[in-house]
Structure 1
């Protein structure tokens, strides 16, 4: 008998989000999918690269998330980039909407994962980075990599 585990299995990740945005806060949301879409996500065929979240009429919607067709889905397959509804509590939606309007944050999906058999999306409340911020981050990573390399080489002797 299969047992449910609490550790989430990450199936798609938006690596570009950490490069383009400062992530201030994260929120977990459910996602409304069809049968063939969840099968395709379980195979790891989802892409979050250019996707974003928009709040319209009190509901959160995931836009531009590409979930490839399930190869055995035939006529039950749907449009790969269709708009999908996110499942959040009303208070969460109101809080996120207020922060997006007041502080000019964006809501970007960071990863899709399975938790207790359900597909979840980790949303990040993010503020855009300028080019000089991106250069500073790259310089910090390079400096840290050089420090780690020097320490590793020092420990060999």
Structure 2
């Protein structure tokens, strides 16, 4: 997909982040209604490694409409253009807009939402993913500390030289 200025966007730039990918279009009334909720999610969770992205399904010649909509609504997250029904199907969505996919830090799809997103449900999903990631990180830190401690407790082979 591309940004509204035609610059190719790479998935690799999102590695290690939780991504909320929302498929929408300027002609879709429910899509337009959920934009403030998505902007609120971006505001609340960006510092924690969450990135909202809007994937516009508007036709290429309607880029001016997309840019105007972004400007009017003060969207605070990246908008990509050129989304197709095939893109939506690849993520497990149907062809109807809006549709949202939440992708975990590991790059795997965590949740597929067909239709308008509920901000409370979206927050619950993100909070759960963040808590799970923190728990995993804490367990990894604990294992590292235990490994360091076990290495320090082993007697040095240098001190057991026969006389």
Q: Which TM-score band (shorter chain)? A: 0.3 to 0.5
Q: Which has the larger radius of gyration?
A: 2
Structure whose residues are more often strand by fraction: 1
The two structures have a TM-score, normalised by structure 1, of 0.32
Q: Answer 1 or 2: which has greater helix percent.
A: 2
